Amino acid sequence: MSQKHSQEPEIGPWIYPDRFLERAAIAEGQDANEEQKFVAKPTRLNMNLFSVNSMTSWGASLVESALAFCYPANCLHCSTPLDPFSREQLCHACSSQLVPIDPQWRCRRCFSEVEGGNRLCTSCQVCRGTPLEAMGAVFDYRGVAATLVRSLKYGQLRWLSEAMAGYMAYQLLALKEWPWPDLLVPVPMVTSHWFSRGFNQSQLLAEELSHLINRPCRSLLGRRMGDYSQAGLSLAQRKELSSSHFFLLERDFEGKRLLVIDDVATTGTTLQRCTELLATGYPAAIYAMTFCRA
């Protein structure tokens, strides 16, 4: 690996994930001929709603001045006024709170908090036989991270998915015990929900992460009509979700390592049901990654 790619980022990747992702990382023990974990190319993960990079300098200044006058910039989380020309969406105080979870303090299977250095929580010590090898998350669902999820899902800020996927790539590399995935699989959304929202946030995250780690993304799962949104359901109701709510769109993934992608895991039931169905296609292993864990 070149010296440039082996250097650590100058500033924490939770503030500038693009600097971290410029590195080319080779999986430990891989053949020199195998693919690199990350594509060695600059990846800019700024969270801009408007792009004026293709304009002339005077044209860009004119447009940016007009936008700053009509739409004053405020922090997405605390609404603190921002420099309208900084292109930032979070103030420094809020962005500094985006520190990814340290996996060593979480259960290696369900990613819940553990004490005393235990690698398995009490529930996972007695639970066996699930096809989901492990799940991980970048943040707990609170504070700034929760605001980003809500802004993506309900605020129609689709462009946030690029930077959010950058944090997911960082956490994926931190989970050193996980094998590198062959295929990314987004959690599906009911068609009626897709029409009302216009997009599937899990699909957006999976596609952006796919570009960053140079692994394909395929929609292997569908979701049946009539399924209710889980946002307003109780924990007990969420746990009643059946795998019959989902169906396979294709089965051409036998022997592959799958990584299921979702925005938030609350009870983990959705991820479990998805993996139960995916397991019928005989993949080599199934893991799951979410941006937040509630």
pLDDT tens-digit profile, the chain (294 residues): 333 333 333 333 333 444 334 333 333 344 434 444 443 333 333 433 323 333 445 555 555 555 555 556 889 999 998 887 777 888 989 999 999 999 999 999 999 998 866 688 888 887 767 899 999 999 999 999 999 999 999 998 999 999 999 999 999 999 999 999 999 999 999 887 778 888 999 999 999 999 999 999 999 999 986 655 555 555 555 455 556 789 999 999 999 999 999 999 998 889 999 999 999 999 999 999 999 999
For residue 211, what are the domain limits? 103-293
Residue 62 lies in a domain: no
Residue 26 lies in a domain: no
Q: Give the pLDDT score at 214.
A: 94
Q: Give the pLDDT score at 88.
A: 80
**CB 97, CB 143: distance < 8 Å:** yes
Residue 11 lies in a domain: no
Residue 176 lies in a domain: yes
Residue 118 lies in a domain: yes
Q: How far is CA 14 from CA 141, 171, 248, in A?
A: 16, 10, 35
Q: Give the pLDDT score at 148.
A: 96
**3-state DSSP call for residue 76?**
coil
Domain count within the chain: 1
Residue 93 lies in a domain: no
Residue 175 lies in a domain: yes
Task: Give the pTM.
Answer: 0.76
Residue tagged 């060695």 (tokens) = 40
**CB 181, CB 138: distance < 8 Å:** no
How does DSSP classify residue 74?
B
Residue 219 lies in a domain: yes
Q: Give the pLDDT score at 245.
A: 82
The whole-angstrom separation of Cα 289 and Cα 138 is 8
The whole-angstrom separation of Cα 146 and Cα 266 is 12
Q: What residues form DSSP beta bridges with 95?
A: none
Q: How far is CA 221 from CA 185, 214, 225, 247, in A?
A: 8, 21, 13, 6
The whole-angstrom separation of Cα 4 and Cα 93 is 30
Q: Give the pLDDT score at 24.
A: 32
End-to-end CA distance of the chain: 38
Question: What's the CATH code of the domain at 165?
Answer: 3.40.50.2020
Phi then psi for 138, rounded to 5 degrees?
-90, -45
